[in-house]
Structure formats: C-alpha cells, structure tokens
Structure 1
Amino acid sequence: MIEIYKDKDPSYYKHTRNELLPFLPQNLDTILDIGCGTGNFGLMLKELYNCKAWGIEPDNTSALEAKGKLDGVINADFDKNIQIPNNQKFDCIFFNDVLEHLADPEGALLLAGTLLKKDGQIIASIPNIRWYPVMLSLLRYKDFRYQNSGVMDKTHMRFFTAKSMVRLFEDAGYKVLKIQGINKDTGFIFFNILNFLLFNTQEDMKYPQFALVATKQTNAD
C-alpha cells in the first residue's frame, strides 16, 4: 500500500454509491468492482441483481473485509500483472472514483476491455476539476490546495473535466453512451446567478463528479 493512503479515514473504503444505480443496465450476471474497498457496493449489487460480484482492492485490510461479502476478491493493484481466475469475463466493470488515482488510466481502461463480455459496459464515477469551489479557489484565492478527500484529494494523480473524461475513454477505444453530473451542488447562490446570466453554459461546474457509461467500440461505430 502506498504510504499516502495510510492516513485515510476507514469510511473512505466503505461507500455504497447508490447514486450510480440509475446508470446500471436492467440485468447483470457478473460484475467487477475495481477499487472495491470493503465490498459494500458489490454487496448492494448482489442483493439487487442476484448477480455475482468480484472486486479488486490493493488495500489489505479493506480487501480482507470485502472477501466476506463478494464472490471473489483480488488483493492487488489493477495492472498487467493481475490474474483473473478461469479467464472470467464481466457484464459490467466499475471504476468508482478510481481512474484519477492511477498513473495510467488509459492503460487501465485498455486492460478492463479485455475482461468485458461482448456488449459489456464500463461504468465510472470521476471527479470534476471544474467544480465551482475548485474554480473559485483558483480565481479568487489563487490557490490549489489538496485535501484528504473529495475532488482535491491529495492521492489523485490525474484531474478531469467532462470533456477530458470522454476523450480518455475514446482514446482507449470506447464509445461513451452516457455522461451525466452526479451529486449536484446547488448551495452557491452567486454561482447560480452567474450561470443564469451566462445562459446556463457553466452547468457542469455544479457537479463534483460525473458518471460515465461506455462500451467497446466496434467496426460499425
């Protein structure tokens, strides 16, 4: 485990991410949650879909807890050395706030593509660097301050806007089916007025994260 992750609050690994449920397909047979933490998200999908849920988690303590909830857990980094038993394939592979932690997110998406079933989907949640509080910090306070969690998490290695999220997936050979802001923040009155005056062209700045659904491109695409 990388040293900077040792100070994480235990709740960091326990999220269920209910806000991603509207982006899931109607039927699931087998899913893979990359960066599964303690396995709560995968367990929720098992209960809702009666599916099999696998997880990959580099944190030893979290992976051990996840093993009691999921059908298979691999305690390792997600890279070319990962070993998936029996050439298992998946209907959905999830990157729930994971890609921004990776030195090579495009490589991770390419690898994930080899584990997808035909017509399988990648579903990802990715922080939005254009979130209004971050932009305000840059413009008004001239500061770029890291935090223990959230959009400015000090363990993030990459930063994305909605446009660059789409580009990342397209460069890795995917077709983006949907991208939508989640966890909308409506508490900034000044920004809401400014956005209105700008004909709502800055709507993306209301969202700390975007959810993205993608499938592998085919020759027909």
Structure 2
Amino acid sequence: MNYDNKPDSYYSKMRFEMLKYLPKDSLKILEIGCGNGCFGEFLKKENNREVWGIELMPEEGKEAEKVLDRVFIGKCEDFINDLPDNYFDAIYCNDVLEHLFDPYSLLKDLKSKLSNKGVVISSIPNIRYHNQFKMFLFSKDWKYQDHGIMDFTHMRFFTGKSIRRMYEEAGYLVKTHEGINKTKSLKPYFFNILFLCTQLDIFYLQYATVASKS
C-alpha cells in the first residue's frame, strides 16, 4: 500500500479531541501510528510521561525519534514481541486499525502489553457517516478517495456497532464508546426524518473507544 502520496499534514495532525480519553494516571504510553511524534510529544509535557511510538513511514519515524522516548519504524505487527509485557498504561491507535489487514489479531496481541490499569484508546472512521450513507444509499456507489473515510489505504471499514463488537470479541471491556467530530451539516437531520430518527450514528465522522483488558 502506497502512503507516499499523502500530504505532510497526514503525519503531523494533532488529535486534540482524543486527549480527554487518556486516564490521568497514565504514565507509560504507546502510540501506534505516531507520525512525526507531535501527539506523543504533547503527551510527554504532562506528568513526566514516557511515550513510545510505532510508525510505518521511515521519514516521519525519524522525526518521531527526536521527540519520543523510543520509536520502532515499520509495520506495527512486526514489533509486538519487542514490546514489554504488562507495561503500558495506555496504547493509542488514532485512525490506525482501519489500515490493517487484521486489526482483530493486533488488539488481542496488545492485551499482554497493557499494565493492570492499562487501556487501548482508538479513533476509527465511521463508514455510516452521512456522506458515505448518501453515497451508498442514493448514489449506489463505493468510490475510494485520497483521504477521509473512503481512503484508498483503508483495509477495513467499521460502524459503531462493529467497533464495539471487535473489542468485545478480543476480550476487552469497553469503558467508553462514542461518536466524535459531529458534522455541522443539516443533511443527517433530513435522513433521520426520512428514516424515523433511526440513523443517529450518521452524524459522526469517527468513533472513539476506550477499552481495558478486564
């Protein structure tokens, strides 16, 4: 899969909306898909946190090495055995799991890397977001794009329901699961009138999930 055509902002976007999901007492953090390390660097500014990263792209990974405590460069699946067991208080997967061929196995493997109080925190695009809902239902189309929910580098597509099920089937306890980045468009309101207010999930671009191993 070719990620070289992505804009620079793809690897340096700060996900401020994901900060609130980090437990206050989390001191050892792993960010999978850390980009150039900007998010992890921000996390390090509080409570003297230790932040590790895994990044697929070599150039961005080299930048992350300058600001994070330790960085692995390559496919995240290749470094699972290099991660210490029972170590991380939080593992972030911000818009990562949808890029993997087998995110289900990765979640299972990450459980052993969490401390007793550890959580996995993820942001995953919602395939039922209103723009895609309209494309499937009315345009009868499935068109890949350079970025966004229909990103051509996405290997998996999820709804809010299937995200929760993925975590639960991997043996996690889902503590928080909610839509984020709500649209300001009026279109979803029209769809909900049309479908008797049964499509509330189409308002949300992504779902944020926090899950513990027990």
Name the residue aligned to 1:12. Answer: 10
Name the residue aligned to 2:213. Answer: 216
Match of 1:172 among 160, 170, 173: 170
Which secondary structure state, in structure 1, belongs to the residue aligned with residue 60 of structure 2? helix
Which secondary structure state, in structure 2, belongs to the residue aligned with residue 114 of structure 1? helix
Name the residue aligned to 1:110. Answer: 108
What are the equivalent positions in structure 2 for 1:110-129 lying under 5 Å apart? 110-129=108-127
Matched, 1:191 2:165: no
- Cα offset for 1:80? 5.2
- Cα offset for 1:138? 1.3
| Residues 172-213 of structure 1: per-residue CA shift (max 9 Å, x gap) | 1101111111111021x2421332565543111011100000
Quick one: distance in 2 between partners of 1:143 and 1:196?
23
Matched, 1:154 2:152: yes
- Cα offset for 1:149? 1.0
Name the residue aligned to 2:30. Answer: 32
> Which amino acid in 2 is paired with 1:175?
L
Quick one: distance in 2 between partners of 1:85 and 1:134?
37
Name the residue aligned to 1:142. Answer: 140
Question: Are the equivalent residues in 2 in contact too, given 1:186–1:192 (CA < 8 A)?
Answer: no
Name the residue aligned to 1:48. Answer: 46
User: Unaligned stretches of 5+ in structure 1?
Assistant: none
- Cα offset for 1:159? 0.3
TM-score (normalised: structure 1)? 0.91
Percent identity between the aligned chains? Answer: 43
Question: Are the equivalent residues in 2 in contact too, given 1:79–1:111 (CA < 8 A)?
Answer: no
Quick one: distance in 1 between partners of 2:15 and 2:118?
20
Name the residue aligned to 2:89. Answer: 91
Which secondary structure state, in structure 1, belongs to the residue aligned with residue 115 of structure 2? strand
Quick one: distance in 1 between partners of 2:101 and 2:187?
36
| Residues 49-84 of structure 1: per-residue CA shift (max 9 Å, x gap) | 431110011110010000011011011211155443
In structure 2, the CA distance between the partners of 1:62 and 1:80, relative to structure 1 (3 Å rule), is: closer
> Which amino acid in 2 is paired with 1:116?
L
Question: Are the equivalent residues in 2 in contact too, given 1:80–1:111 (CA < 8 A)?
Answer: no
User: Unaligned stretches of 5+ in structure 2?
Assistant: none
Which secondary structure state, in structure 2, belongs to the residue aligned with residue 208 of structure 1? strand
Name the residue aligned to 1:203. Answer: 200
In structure 2, the CA distance between the partners of 1:67 and 1:116, relative to structure 1 (3 Å rule), is: same
CA RMSD of aligned residues (A): 1.7
Aligned length: 214
Match of 1:163 among 158, 161, 164: 161
In structure 2, the CA distance between the partners of 1:182 and 1:117, relative to structure 1 (3 Å rule), is: same
Name the residue aligned to 1:73. Answer: 71
